[in-house]
Amino acid sequence: MNPILKPNITRVLLSSSPAPFASAVLHNSIHSLRIPGKADSFQPAAIVAPLDYLISNPNRVSLLTPSSRLPTSIFLTRALYLSTCQFPHRSPQALYSTQSHNMSTIEDAKRNAAKQAVAKHYPPNPKFVGIGSGTTIVYVVEAIKALGVDTTTTGFVPTGYQSNQLVANAGLTSISLDALPEGAVLDVAFDGADEVDDDLNCIKGGGACLFQEKLVALQAKEFICVADSRKLQRRLLTNWPSIPIEVAPLAVRRVISELQKLGSPLPKLRNAPIKEGEHTQPVKTDQDFFLVDAPFPKLLLPSDVAQGEDGSGKNGVWEVTALAERIKLIPGVLEVGLFCGLTGPQAQAAGGIGGQKPTAAYFGMLDGSVSVRKAN
């Protein structure tokens, strides 16, 4: 074990609502801030401050590091949450450096995607606009402000508390979904995603806002996804490890048991450390519900099934929409972090209002370009 890495402090002030299993991987050259456990092994660092705090306070994320050889406080601008950290031992310089070209490139990629998405899809004189959650959405709001258009007659509908704070801090008018006039439809909704597949199905819920995010998407004429290139994968559950599921606290055990029957090998209640102690408590959503993170094998597309693959759940292998519908049937499940099925225009053609699936997705690439994917 490297004695330089032996910490006197074992907590990282980052997030009480991380992605599954409360592990953290930081953007830039900070590959993983982890604390020594058993000999020759590292464990993910604990996480104790709100994820969406990063959105409204991006420059005030404080990391506590070993005090003997390294600075005691480092300020970062963003963090990425993953379920597992499987990195070898690294030098203290690599573990704790605060800035890098890589981080700058990723943030620039997000900003480029947001600018292009807003320029293309922000309508003239919109009445209502949905504003989602996640680190990319701060750039969406930035891009809206940069348009220089009159926003005084536009109501911005947030997908959660921190999203509401972001809107308010930008000087925009926030209106909650349940305060909309009867029959009102959002002109457009912008949101991020944890992972997006070839058909533009999305996994969302890493930031614990999936229920309100889905409500807003379903109330919008079109949902536009904005992300960086790492979120684009051929199939869901390629890099993002699990499906977030919002669950009534009383039903957690039952839901976990049912998920195991569906083929999820290790569904877990999402916990986070209590600020002033070593104990953990369940992460709560804005609805005071809990989150269960359920890993599954990669999810199939309808095209995979058409080519003969079995997406019925055998051996835990599911087609994405079939799994979303099946999980939603479990008593105690409020919502599932799979955004699939119809787009807004498809839903409207069928007599509905909006769809869960984005009409288009904008991915900021590391070379400065933006890749645009449109739903079929």
Question: Cα 214–218–219 angle (5° rounding)?
Answer: 120
Query: What are the two backbone dihedrals, phi and then psi, of residue 118, each rounded to the nearest 5 degrees?
Result: -70, -45
Beta-ladder partners of 244: 293
Q: Tell me, what amino acid is at 246? A: E
The residue assigned the tokens 């590091």 is: 65
Q: Identify the DSSP state of 45.
A: P
Q: At what angle do helices 137-146 and 101-121 cross, to 10 degrees?
A: 50
Q: Identify the DSSP state of 220.
A: B
Answer for the pair 128, 155: CB distance below 8 angstroms, yes or no.
yes
Q: Identify the DSSP state of 151.
A: -
Sign of torsion over alpha carbons 163, 165, 171, 172: positive
Catalytic, out of 107, 195, 213, 258 = 213
Whether 213 sits among the annotated catalytic residues: the reply is: yes
Answer for the pair 249, 282: CB distance below 8 angstroms, yes or no.
yes
Edge-to-edge strands, sheet with 370-374? 173-174, 155-158, 128-131, 188-191, 223-228, 360-364, 370-374
Bridge pairing between strands 188-191 and 74-76: unpaired
In three-state secondary structure terms, 311 is coil
Q: How far is CA 35 from the centre of its chain?
A: 25
Sign of torsion over alpha carbons 296, 298, 303, 309: negative
CA trace torsion 162, 164, 170, 171 (10° rounding): -150
Active site (catalytic) residues: 213
